[in-house]
Chains A and B, each alone.
Chain A
Amino acid sequence: EIVLTQSPGTLSLSPGERATLSCRASQSVSSSYLAWYQQKPGQAPRLLIYGASSRATGIPDRFSGSGSGTDFTLTISRLEPEDFAVYYCQQYGSSPPETFGQGTKLEIK
């Protein structure tokens, strides 16, 4: 089973700053099958990025994804107040189907 480790666990930043979130896999992941989600309190997760770097429908261009192999990054170029949330990476493999990272909480400094 591929284990995804996200860092940092908590990131404290101010609106307008740049956020960089990391997701490291225990073995190589196909870039085609790495996604990022945002979850706000009391809400279901929302897909942000699929295929490591493609934005989902309706996602602002301040969100970008990059990486390959075992190291992936979600970048938020200029934080808006609504961006403070928990972020999860997720990979798809042949068996078991999917695993998530443990999440990074992005909080207002």
Chain B
Amino acid sequence: EVQLVQSGAEVKKPGESLKISCKGSGYSFTSYWIGWVRQMPGKGLEWMGIIYPGDSDTRYSPSFQGQVTISADKSISTAYLQWSSLKASDTAMYYCARRSTLGAAADYWGQGTLVTVSS
């Protein structure tokens, strides 16, 4: 069974750093792109970027380039999303999702990680 399991909710202060994770299982982790999606409170889905764990090829949406870093450790089948200096506007739910070979759709999703940034 394919599963993406994300790390737990985080409460941080502005200016702090953070790294959240997404562990894949039940499939060949290195053979599928993993993307990250932001959903701000009460808002829609925003694609942040994507990584191919097989060779760490990473691509960012323009709105998120330079704001976050996406990485992966294929030895433990885990993808990461990190911030060096959080802002209150980073408060959101973050989902990881596997990009299928079927039309590049996101066929499996993590359960989401809620990040709250507040002073």
Which residues of A are interface residues toward B (Cβ below 8 A)?
1, 32-35, 37, 39, 44-47, 50-52, 54, 56, 86, 88, 90, 92, 95-103
Contact = CB atoms under 8 A, between A and B. Distances in A.
A107 to B, nearest CB: 15
A100 B35 CA distance: 13
Contact of B45 (A46, A52, A100): A100
Contact of A33 (B44, B61, B103): B103
Contact of A44 (B47, B59, B60, B111): B111
A56 B60 CA distance: 26
Nearest to A102: B44
Given A35-B103, A35-B105, 4 more contacts: A45-B45, A47-B106, A51-B105, A54-B103
Contacts of B95: 44-45
Nearest to B50: A97
Given A88-B44, A98-B50, A34 B59 contact: no
Contacts, number: 80
18 contacts: A1-B62, A33-B103, A44-B109, A44-B110, A46-B109, A47-B105, A47-B106, A47-B107, A50-B102, A50-B105, A51-B105, A56-B102, A56-B107, A86-B44, A96-B59, A97-B59, A97-B104, A100-B44
Contacts of B90: none
Given A45-B95, A96-B60, A97-B50, A103 B44 contact: yes
Interface of B: 35, 37, 44-47, 49-50, 59-62, 95, 97, 100, 102-107, 109-112
A95 B50 CA distance: 11
Contacts of A99: 47, 61
B26 to A, nearest CB: 14
A96 B105 contact: no
B63 to A, nearest CB: 9
Given A1-B62, A97-B50, A98-B47, A92 B110 contact: no
